[in-house]
Amino acid sequence: MKIVFAGTPEFAVASLGAAARQHEVVAVYTQPDRPAGRGRGLMPSPVKLDAIARGIPVFQPETLKTPEAQQQLRDLQPDLMVVVAYGLILPKAVLAIPTHGCWNVHASLLPRWRGAAPIQRAIEAGDAETGVCLMQMEAGLDTGPVLLSQRTPIADTDTGGLLHDRLAALGAQVLSDGLGLLRAGLKPVAHPQPAEGVTYAHKLDKAEAKLDWAQDATVLARKVRAFNPWPVAEAMLAGERVRIHGAVALDDNRGKAPGTVLGASRDGIDIACGQGALRLRVVQREGGKAITAADYLNARRDLQAGS
């Protein structure tokens, strides 16, 4: 089969590999190069870099809504278009171009967590499990019928980064399974999503990363995990703003006001919350790198319990 692959971030790279191993990927569509880094130079997407390494032609239109962009895709005569975290809306006209339509690899168990940030929202909400779905795309946002899925538990130690990597590998697996079936003439059965249980995973905002000590410690611990490695949780710690890369919730706040330092040791720095306390284990000072609580305390000898 002739496949057109559309994707942009690191999450999509494993799926591109799965497609390229089984079929002819005639073109890769990805977002235009964007300014990044301190120098704000234009940076190609991870998918573009992988496509170039594989010798696959790369297209980077600003939109797929123009007749020119749609004709360019039509000229490729694709049997299937595979979309993984591409970042552009596919108009109905585009969905109709490939012989078998467009498939999407989505990092949640649909209909839960449709939208932009399903991995982080699942952790933040305290979900016990998540997974990936291979979906037949339609005009709505992640509303299409599910072809295949894989589930995985969410551990108490899972961060956004760890779960991202695991789901990227699972996504490549469900895509590989789906392509294998299609190649054998056994197109996966499309199961409509249930009307119940729909939730939306809104795009992450850096403002969300600011922790409010008045919240429950378990809520804050999930935010710390969900927002690692981006945007990274931050809060005021004894008069200093720090970023928090690792933390766990404790049951007792000893009746102290939210934000109070309850204790500071090599095990961590305990901060009273609205309910319970949050033990900070890995923190980052402004302009510094992530360090253990023990190393932080070496630089903050003024930090005492109750300060």
Residues in the annotated binding site for (6S)-5,6,7,8-tetrahydrofolate = 108-111
Tokens 């490695």 locate to: 229
Tokens 């305290």 locate to: 126
Question: What element of type H or E holds 33?
Answer: none
Cβ–Cβ under 8 Å, residues 119 and 164: yes
Task: Pick the closest to residue 10 from 150, 152, 124, 161 (CA basis).
Answer: 161
Cβ–Cβ under 8 Å, residues 274 and 216: yes
Q: What single string gives the DSSP state of each residue in 89-109?
A: ---HHHHTSSTT-EEEEESSS
Show binding-site residues: 108-111
What secondary structure letter does DSSP report for 109?
Answer: S
Q: What single string gives the DSSP state of each residue in 118-164?
A: HHHHHHHTT-SEEEEEEEE--SSTT-SPEEEEEEEE--TT--HHHHH
Distances (CA, A) of 273 to 24, 65, 207, 243, 251: 55, 49, 19, 17, 10
Q: Fill in the amino acid letter for 281.
A: R
